[in-house]
């Protein structure tokens, strides 16, 4: 079926209705982040009284009515306070496997670019979608596309013939994200110090995993002076443009990622850029593939770290806030890479909660542990290759806020770390 106008949307609705008629609670897997196919989700929601909506990092605006169960392995803003949340813990590299083992998709909905030379592309949201498409096809499920001329065409695992989909409609969706809000005052100062300390550990020729946020943004000024850098990263944002403009990126190495979020300038840059490869998550995040990258440097953050160098990056007050994501994948891969390192970067003090981010022992489920170093605005605590007592001492003296160091020493003695 090919549906190209709103007048034919009823045909696509009939296809969904007929396919799901005998399935008690269909599972609908959707693209997330900035690539949410809003028109298709609205169509599905108008047809199915009950269904499971599986989205990684779901943005605001998804259906939230009774009958819709929110299912994910990484909680986004659209699901964070959902009373009907089914959180499925999994490292991001393993999420694609779930679609062929336990979370079988009945319908997959996604956005594509406009056709280029007879093909369309999943653009900046490849991620887990190829695996979901394959799992749906293997069980006779539906794969539906929303063709959006705003989606850039990217090369890699997200390229498809349009007639490979069971149905498609046209639907305009803005893809560009909002401009980042500049940091001011103490926030800017502490982020800047952390960024400088992170950047000082990177050498020319290294491979980077940089996400989105204050620390990656603050790290960039110290990276533009380097040369022949590579990117093998779960995602990237506008920071890659600064590296490109400065000549810091190796022109002979492909930029490999599975999704991207950023400005219109970034979207224009990735469109038909043969240096960029948007690959499936199980390829990009596989620790074995990460470990093959020279000088692999992974920079992640957390809400808490403890004196055993354990990090909590996913839960607040026992309630899931996000998920494992790719943090564990990249930490393990980076530590196995030639000349690799895994950096955990965060502020020593949580400004909103007004508490130390360095605690004696993380009470929440641990997201990851044993990075190469923990960096705060206080300094660098070396972790990898040191005894647990040396690690604890370094964390207290070099990473923790001065106001809590005495208390941490007392707790360290209780924990047998002195």
Written as six digits, the tokens of 340 are 């690799």
Structural contact between residues 206 and 250, judged by C-beta atoms closer than 8 angstroms: no
CB 259 within 8 A of CB 235: yes
Separation between Cα atoms, residue 57 and residue 116, nearest integer Å: 28
Q: Which tokens in the block code for residue 66? A: 């009774």
- State the Cα–Cα distance between residues 217 and 233, nearest whole angstrom: 15
Specify whether 9 is catalytic: no
Give Cα 217 distance to the centre of its chain: 16
Return the structure tokens found at 263.
């400005």
CA 266 distance to own-chain centroid? 17
* Residue in the structure block whose two tokens are 């306070």: 81
Look at residue 249 and give its three-state secondary structure: strand
Whose CA is closest to 244, among 265, 214, 213, 218?
Answer: 265
CB 76 within 8 Å of CB 62: no
Catalytic residue among 9, 159, 234, 377: 234
DSSP state of 393: H
What distance in Å separates the CA atoms of residue 347 and residue 314, rounded to the nearest whole number?
A: 16
Residue 209 tokens read as: 């995993």
Q: Give the CA count within 13 Å in the CB-facing half-sphere of 187.
A: 10
Calpha distance 135→103 (Å, rounded): 9
Catalytic residues: 234
């Amino acid at each position: 079926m090919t549906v190209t106008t709103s007048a034919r949307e009823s045909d696509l609705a009939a296809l969904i209705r007929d396919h799901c008629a005998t399935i008690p609670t269909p599972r609908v897997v959707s693209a997330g982040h900035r690539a949410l196919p809003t028109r298709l989700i609205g169509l599905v929601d108008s047809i199915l009284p009950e269904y499971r909506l599986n989205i990684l990092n779901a943005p605001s605006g998804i259906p939230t009515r009774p009958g819709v169960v929110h299912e994910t392995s990484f909680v986004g803003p659209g699901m964070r306070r959902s009373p009907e949340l089914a959180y499925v813990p999994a490292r991001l590299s393993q999420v694609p496997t779930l679609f062929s083992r336990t979370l079988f998709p009945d319908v997959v909905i996604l956005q594509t670019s406009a056709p280029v030379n007879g093909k369309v592309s999943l653009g900046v949201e490849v991620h887990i979608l190829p695996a979901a498409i394959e799992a749906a096809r293997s069980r006779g499920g539906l794969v539906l596309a929303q063709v959006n001329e705003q989606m850039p065409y990217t090369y890699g695992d997200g390229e498809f013939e349009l007639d490979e989909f069971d149905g498609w409609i046209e639907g305009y969706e803005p893809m560009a994200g909002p401009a980042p809000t500049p940091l001011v005052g103490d926030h800017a100062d502490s982020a800047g110090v952390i960024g400088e300390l992170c950047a000082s550990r990177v050498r020319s020729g290294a491979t980077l995993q940089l996400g989105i946020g204050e620390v990656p943004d603050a790290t960039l000024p110290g990276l533009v002076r380097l040369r022949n850098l590579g990117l093998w990263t779960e995602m990237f944002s506008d920071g890659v443009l600064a590296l490109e403009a400065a000549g810091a990126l190796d022109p002979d190495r492909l930029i490999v990622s599975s999704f991207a979020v950023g400005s219109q300038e970034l979207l224009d840059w990735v469109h038909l850029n043969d240096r960029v490869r948007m690959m499936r998550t199980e390829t990009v995040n596989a620790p074995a593939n990460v470990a093959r990258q020279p000088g692999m440097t992974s920079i992640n953050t957390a809400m808490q770290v403890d004196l055993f160098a354990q990090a909590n990056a996913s839960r607040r007050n026992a309630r899931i806030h996000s998920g494992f994501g790719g943090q564990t994948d990249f930490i393990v891969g980076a530590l196995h890479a030639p000349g690799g390192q895994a950096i955990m970067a965060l502020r020593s003090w949580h400004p909103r909660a007004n508490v130390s981010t360095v605690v004696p022992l993380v009470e929440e489920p641990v997201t990851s542990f044993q990075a190469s170093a923990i960096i705060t605005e206080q300094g660098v605590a070396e972790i990898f290759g040191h005894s647990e007592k040396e690690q604890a001492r370094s964390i207290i003296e070099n990473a923790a806020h001065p106001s809590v160091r005495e208390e941490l020493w007392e707790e360290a003695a209780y924990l047998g770390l002195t």
